């Protein structure tokens, strides 16, 4: 009888340990406020908007619409990225142009990128460079900040930059690169001359 009671006490203690862990984690979340209802957060591979912070769990609405339920103890021990608290959002993008592009045009591309980004509403230029020689393209990289943190503003700015980049490249006759391969076929050796 004593063994059964001891086993029951251990089972209850283990169950309470998880419940108390979530309870203390929820108190920690409510006091420390790493996020609040309405914040857009990322926890590991999951991201969504906080809908409710409960005693045992926190509920998120993912970008795809499903509800994610996470234990508060798990959240308290996770690295959380809170995008709602961004003041601005940084973006880095790359693209490639063909190896046949004349050097003079290549040298103008960073300044062209700067001009395009600076004329885009709510975008702040950081840098633009000829970054590397790729397998099938000369690769350029640009970075800028969108001065509003939400994803919609970021995508609006990137779209405006992309359209203007397309238009300017058409004017300059600069071609974007796409994956290509050159196959060199060796000709068979000529037959040996008779002796």
Same fold, 2-83 and 89-172: no
Q: 62-88: per-residue pLDDT in tens?
A: 988 999 999 888 888 889 988 877 788
Residue 15, pLDDT score: 66
Spell out where 75-150 has E strands. 80-82, 89-97, 123-133, 138-146
Q: Which fold has domain 2-83?
A: SH3 type barrels. (2.30.30)
**pLDDT attached to residue 32:** 85
Q: What residues does each domain of the chain span?
A: 2-83, 89-172
In whole angstroms, what is the distance from residue 73 CA to residue 15 CA? Answer: 14
CATH of 89-172, one of 3.30.70.100, 3.40.50.740, 1.10.3720.10, 3.30.460.10: 3.30.70.100
CA atoms within 13 A on the CB side of 169: 19
Residue-by-residue pLDDT tens, the chain, 195 positions: 677 666 666 766 666 667 777 777 778 887 888 889 998 889 988 989 999 998 889 999 998 899 999 988 888 888 998 887 778 889 999 999 999 999 999 999 999 999 999 999 999 999 999 999 999 999 999 999 998 877 888 999 999 999 999 999 999 999 999 887 777 777 777 777 776
């Amino acid at each position: 009888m004593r063994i059964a009671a001891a086993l029951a006490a251990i089972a209850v203690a283990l169950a309470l340990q998880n419940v108390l862990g979530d309870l203390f984690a929820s108190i920690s979340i409510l006091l420390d406020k790493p996020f609040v209802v309405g914040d857009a957060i990322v926890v590991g591979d999951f991201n969504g908007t906080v809908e409710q912070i409960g005693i045992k769990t926190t509920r998120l609405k993912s970008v795809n619409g499903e509800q994610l339920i996470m234990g508060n103890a798990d959240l308290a021990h996770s690295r959380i990225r809170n995008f709602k608290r961004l003041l601005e959002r940084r973006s880095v993008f790359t693209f490639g142009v063909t190896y046949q592009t004349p050097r003079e045009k290549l040298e103008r591309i960073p300044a062209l990128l700067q001009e395009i980004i600076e004329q885009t509403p709510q975008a702040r230029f950081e840098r633009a460079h000829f970054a590397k020689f790729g397998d099938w393209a000369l690769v350029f990289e640009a970075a800028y900040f969108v001065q509003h943190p939400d994803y919609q503003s970021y995508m609006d700015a990137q779209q405006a930059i992309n359209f203007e980049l397309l238009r300017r490249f058409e004017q300059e006759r600069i071609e974007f690169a796409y994956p290509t391969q050159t196959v060199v076929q060796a000709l068979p050796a000529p037959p040996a001359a008779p002796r």
